[in-house]
Amino acid sequence: MSDAIKGLQPEPVWRYFAEISRIPRCSGNEDNMVRYILGAAERLGLETREDQVGNVLVRKPASPGRENVRSVVLQGHMDMVGEKNKDKVHNFEKDPIELVRKENVLMANGTTLGADNGIAVAASLAIMEDPGLQHGPLEFLFTVDEESGLTGAKHLTGDFMRSMTLLNLDSEEEGVLYVGCAGGRDTSARWDVNFLPMPPRAKAVRVKVSGLKGGHSGLEIDKGRGNAIKILNRALQGMEEIGLRLGRIEGGNKRNAIPREAEADVTVPERAWKRARDFVARLEKEVQGELASTDPGLQLEILELPPGKMLRVMRKAYQKKICRTISGLPHGVIRMSPDIPGLVQTSTNVAVISKDRYGFDMATSQRSSVASEKEEICQTVADIFSLGGATVRSSSGYPGWKPNLDSQVLKTAKATYQSLYGREPEVKAIHAGLECGIIGEKYPGIDMISFGPTLEGVHSPDEKIYIDSVGRFWEYLLQLLKNIE
């Protein structure tokens, strides 16, 4: 057992969480998690199903006397986002997550924690193994590849599960019941470019942005945090007049994460090296002032590459197109909801830029709870890419989840929370993509809510879960299963 979870309650939830933290399970690499869950269910003598993409369903019979209660499915996803600090040595394909406990918080050592959505998997496994709980017929749906494309939910068939009441355990604010979510699409670009030899009498240098918080591009998009790609581009454009030539630019890692780090390899004329350093130092102070309250750790650096380093650079025309496109791309909140205070209605995230031998790829993601606004912002981003000379691709996206405030399970969930804690839970919609939207299309009329313990910083190495909130989440979940008729 990991020392970080010794003595924590509820013991079975933390025990399972520690076990699955040792299993690499980034999106697209969930095979070992699938085998682990199927093996656990087999040892418990429970019925299982697995579909063609790797989604797993486990069925647990009702407790004695509860056989005629409506069937409920508990749902969460098996995969996690793999993000790490640049100086952290970690291979997400084979290395376990290193758990670190800091008073009331559980984190990982320099990487994402995977509580999104490992805590749902752990809670489901703990319920599966406990014969003394009171509940009706239960199903446990574990989906794959939620983080990179909601692939598991998209491939569900209408006969995979029986339940028409669903508890999604993929929310991140204890004491809140979510009843709706945004839909989303990705818009990507490709520039094929020609590279030239390094200019004469030039110095090869690296410009780096680091120290940003990043975070989930839905949940943290309204926090005003810095975007490493946009900040880096400001530096590059600001040095164009002194003769900067661009060879490589890369930043971000996941389409659904605000980029925390970015870097570019460039050349500057030897005679302009001091001007370049002075400019970067001034810009660093300016941006630190802009982000003082949201990203106090920002660093912007310019460093010499090894002596004699030869760098191939792109033609000036390509450089201008790419840098001006990045400059023109919107990032952040586009519109707040006029109906629900504090809810982001529409947003866009400039997420990833990467280089290969022949050019550059860029990924962005758009979200909205209003389908027409989602299409509009996707079109805006696509048009900016097109004007910048890029080849544009758009994903099929995923639907939003329309709130149903007359939901029967919502009424039971509110009454259960009131009875336990003497106050009503908050009822919200979320500006992030939950699998509920897709599942609702696959199972018309299904009654759903989403809840979970308190997490912060998901999709970044700052991800943390509050230990005391897990106890309340567990207590509430068991009582809700007991109260559903």
Is the dihedral angle over the CA atoms 164, 450, 469, 464 positive or is it negative?
positive
**Whole-angstrom Cα distance, residue 268 to residue 286?**
22
Which of 158, 127, 164 has its CA nearest to residue 40?
127
- The CA-based angle 298-299-302, given to 5 degrees, is 155
Q: Is 146 a catalytic residue?
A: yes
Q: Tokens 């460039």 map to which residue?
A: 266
Is 311 within 8 Å of 247 (Cβ atoms)? yes
Is 170 within 8 Å of 116 (Cβ atoms)? yes
Is 173 within 8 Å of 392 (Cβ atoms)? no
Identify the bridge partners of residue 184 per DSSP, sorted by sequence position.
367, 398
Tokens of 126: 């703990």
User: Catalytic residue among 79, 170, 220, 373, which?
Assistant: 79
Which of 367, 322, 374, 372 has its CA nearest to residue 349?
367
Q: Is 278 a catalytic residue?
A: no
User: Catalytic residue among 145, 146, 250, 463, which?
Assistant: 146
Compute CA 106 distance to the chain's CA centroid, rounded to the nearest angstrom.
18
DSSP H or E stretch at residue 166: strand 165-168
Please give the positions annotated as active site. Answer: 79, 146
